[in-house]
Amino acid sequence: MKKILVYGAGPPGSLFAARLHEAGHEGSLLERGQWTFRLCSLDAVR
């Protein structure tokens, strides 16, 4: 199985990554802007 990288954790990227996860795909979400702080504050970053 291929791993998928979603670049951009804003609303569209987060939704796309969530749908991929729900479908059973493995991947990562990459963000380096304002959403990084927001994702960390939601404990969404591991």
CB 19 within 8 A of CB 3: no
pLDDT bin (cut points 50, 70, 90) of residue 28 is confident
* Higher-confidence position of 1 and 46: 1
* Higher-confidence position of 37 and 23: 23
Mind listing the pLDDT tens digit for each residue in 5-22? 888 877 888 888 889 889
**Rounded to whole angstroms, what are the CA distances from 36 to 23, 27, 29, 42?**
24, 17, 10, 10
CB atoms within 10 A of CB 20: 15
pLDDT bin (cut points 50, 70, 90) of residue 36 is low
pLDDT bin (cut points 50, 70, 90) of residue 3 is confident
DSSP per-residue codes, 5-32: EEE--SHHHHHHHHHHHHTT--EEEE--
* Entry field: residues in the chain: 46
